[in-house]
Structure 1
Amino acid sequence: KTKPSVDFLSANFKMPMAQAEFYYLGLEDHLQIFDSSFVERVKEEKTIRGLFVRKVLEELQKAQGRDREVLQKALTTGLQEFDRAKATYRRDL
């Protein structure tokens, strides 16, 4: 595992507006969840979530280039939404 090159907890990003120049912080997501043990467990589930993972992984095997990137993002976002929906459902009980 790689560690972040910036310690966001101790970094001081505040400065007086008179001194401020306009900077931005760009973040790139390099998370590769599609080959994790979590995905391997989820794909065995007899649930809609398991079916979703199986279908996306099936398409990933055939995909190349930009299509592969889109499917990887879809898998990550889809699993996040399943978890968010589950949390919302439990809160409503």
Structure 2
Amino acid sequence: MSDLPPTSILLPTTRWTAACAELAAQLGDRNELLVIHDSVNDPVTEQEDPPEGIRFLAAGEPDGCSGKANAIVAGMEAARYDRLVWTDDDFHHPQTG
């Protein structure tokens, strides 16, 4: 077991990408991955049998900011843990360490 505190990983996206699967595969037992999308109609919500530790969160339509900024704010408010990581869905997330 790691000595690191639990972490909430915030991933704004509207579709399931390779990055979603990579991050899900790297989750530790005490971490969570918040897949933050705009609405329940986004394609990412159709992901069947998502891996354990993933929560889907509809951020809603942005008001006075970008969709990504809106998603990050919604994710920060919903995160279970104080240690946060923000990332994007459009690049490779290799496992480190």
Bin the TM-score by the shorter chain.
under 0.3
Where is the helix percentage greater, Structure 1 or Structure 2?
A: 1
Where is the strand percentage greater, Structure 1 or Structure 2?
A: 2
The structure with the larger Rg is: 1
Q: Using structure 1 for the length normalisation, give the TM-score.
A: 0.28
Higher RCO, 1 vs 2 (CA within 8 Å, ≥6 residues apart): 2
